[in-house]
Amino acid sequence: MKDDPLTLREYEIFQTLQELNDCDFTVIGGYAVNAYALPRFSVDCDIVIKDKNELKKIEKPLLRRGYKKEADAELQYSGRFSRYEKKLENNFTVSVDVLIHAVADRMTGVSFSAGWIFENSDKKVLRGKTITGELALRIIDIDALLVMKMISCRPTDIRDVFMMIPKANDKEWIKSEIATRCDLTDRIDKITEKVASKQFKDGLSGVYGRLDSKVFEKHKKAIMAFY
């Protein structure tokens, strides 16, 4: 494990989340995706809390584990947040980003309240990509996570949407939630254009591993049928 930065970081995140399990937070971002799709690796763990009082409870075990609060940090999301970083063996870094009150996407300016995120979340099992551990945590629901990622529409988000979309529970709800916040057609067009490109499958394999052609086509069909 010492020679593998991916395993080292993921092990640290799982151990950290286990220590935070008595705190009131919801997991979003890449680690939330792992609850619904083939696990992928993420350097950062994003969690959402309702207020600063909860931050005080979360901060204590983080500092105890050797994390340091960073004054300046660049996130996919804007708004009130605190980033905690820890140096691991061989100078590898892992971080926990704590988003407070709300989550605002930097690219679009769209904001999601902590209340909305908690309302659309539940206890689920989180599995690792490079380790065999499992954790039961409050994780954002797949439909709400799809809303957030379809609005953001970064290349990483589009890959995550592609992997999760066949498991969506209520596509009409997803479309409605997106449409109340931004241009639904623009978001879907951007996703379908990216998925249809020749480079998309190679980029997907680089993150999730090689996909069987039938599985890839099944996911692609689900994306194209989202209208």
- Structurally, what CATH architecture does the domain formed by 1-140 represent? 2-Layer Sandwich (3.30)
Give me the pLDDT at residue 1, please: 47
pLDDT at 81 over 60: yes
**pLDDT at residue number 148:** 97
Report pLDDT for 75: 57
- Mean pLDDT to the nearest integer, 207-215: 85
The pairing of beta strand 44-49 with beta strand 93-100: parallel
Least confident interval from 71-75, 102-106, 164-168, 187-191: 71-75
Longest pairwise C-alpha distance within the chain: 49
What are 167-177's pLDDT values in tens digits?
999 999 999 99
Task: Say what the pTM is.
Answer: 0.91
Asked if residue 74 has pLDDT above 80, the reply is no
Residue boundaries of the structural domains of the chain: 1-140, 141-227
Q: Which is more confidently placed, 180 or 21?
A: 180
Percent of the residues in the chain that have a pLDDT greater than 70, as a whole number? 94
Angle between helices 142-152 and 155-164 (to 10 degrees): 150
Q: Round to whole Å and give the CA distance between 207 and 21.
A: 28
Q: Please give the pLDDT value at position 76.
A: 58
pLDDT digit string, tens, across residues 97-136: 999 999 998 889 999 999 999 999 999 988 887 888 789 9
CB 35 within 8 A of CB 70: no
- Between 1 and 100, the more confident residue is 100
Q: In the β-sheet with 102-105, what is the strand arrangement from edge to edge?
A: 77-78, 102-105, 111-113
6-15, 33-42, 151-160 — most confident range: 151-160
